[in-house]
Amino acid sequence: MIVSFDIGGSAIKGGIARSMTDILPLARRPTPRHDFAEFVAVLREVIAEAGGKPTCLSFSIAGVVDPDTQALTCANIRCIDGRHLAADLEAELGYPVLIANDADCFAMAEAMSGAGRGHRIVFGAILGTGVGGGLVADGRLVNAAGGFAGEWGHGPIIASFAGDPPAAIPAYPCGCGQKGCVDTVGGARGIERLHKTLYGAELSSEEIIDRWLKDDTQAQRTIDVMIDLVASPLALTVNITGATIVPVGGGLSNVEPLLARLDQAVRARILRKFGRPLVVPSQCKLEPGLIGAALLGLQYAEEHHHAA
């Protein structure tokens, strides 16, 4: 038995996994963000609810682990930010602990249980508030120890001009400390930023998309620019990784006409030509982080069973 966790800034979700097809969610609990002892106490409650003795504990967290120091960076939960979380939790709870980035867990869930089934190389892309991703090859997470692989949202790569006719695009500052990252233009906040740059109007991404779907001229221009900016970095990612499917999660994945436009633009810019959709909506709509963490825990259990 594996006990998996999806750790978010507002809630801790727990689950029990006995196989790929037997993953049972448990009750949600509020996340203690400022007190590590309280954080550990909530984890104990989840383990007690699961019952029995788990083989390991597997975590999906919105953060990254430095592969060299094992220190976690997790900005929205201060009590675990900077900690050697796996070692600290193993000492507190007495079980082996796996820590994985939430986008990586999403990619793992899609590769094994979602739109990526049957594909050797799956690139899971997140288009939500911002941009993220994870890479799975032959059923295994690439760079599982850190969470850096697949982060196509960061790096000074966006074009200086985009759309038809071309519009000048500033190198917007990014939360990662760089300028001109895909994260600054590709998610919901990016759409809002682009619309303000193009028209000086502050609208929510929902309003812009709604107007786009109703053929509003300004919204059409904003979405055209956004697609142009995002498609090339995603096409480059597909070329480099060799991914044959790109399941997309996050809020924007629910706008299927938007994904269809992005898919068309990406397929026009890659070396390998596909006669089918490449960029597709995710299928694991409920608890992909929990599912992905569970799958990583099950892999760990299987490997250690064979090693024994």
Q: How would you class 4 by CB atoms within 10 Å of its CB: exposed for 0-12, middle for 13-18, buried for 19 or more?
A: buried
Query: Is 114 exposed, middle or buried, given 0-12, 13-18 or 19+ CB atoms closer than 10 A?
Result: buried
What value does the mean pLDDT take over residues 6-26? Answer: 90
Tell whether pTM > 0.75: yes
**Residue 308 clears pLDDT 60, i.e. is over it:** no
Going by pLDDT thresholds of 50, 70 and 90, the confidence category of residue 23 is: confident
Whether the per-residue pLDDT at 52 is higher than 70: the answer is yes
Beta-carbon contacts of 9 under 8 Å, excluding residues fewer than 6 positions away, are: 31, 33, 62, 76, 77
- Torsion 47-50-51-54 (CA) sign: negative
The per-residue pLDDT for 306 is: 58
Backbone angles phi, psi at 205, to 5 degrees: -60, -35
Asked whether the beta carbons of 1 and 17 are under 8 A apart, the reply is yes
Q: What is the mean pLDDT of the chain?
A: 93
Q: Exposed (0-12), middle (13-18) or buried (19+): which is 197, by Cβ within 10 Å?
A: middle
pLDDT at residue 223 is higher than 90: yes
* All domains in the chain, ordered by first residue: 2-101+286-307 (3.30.420.40), 115-281 (3.30.420.40)
Q: Which helix (H) or strand (E) holds 253?
A: none
Query: What does the pLDDT look like over 184-222, one tens digit per residue?
Result: 999 999 999 999 999 999 999 999 999 999 999 999 999
274 and 267 in contact (C-beta within 8 Å)? yes
pLDDT (0 to 100) of residue 144 = 67
Beta bridge partners of 39: none
Q: Does residue 165 have a cis bond before it (omega within 30 degrees)?
A: yes
Q: What tens digit of pLDDT does each residue of 228-281 get? A: 999 999 999 999 999 999 999 999 999 999 999 999 999 999 999 999 999 999
pLDDT for the residue numbered 69: 87
pLDDT band at 67, cuts 50/70/90?
confident
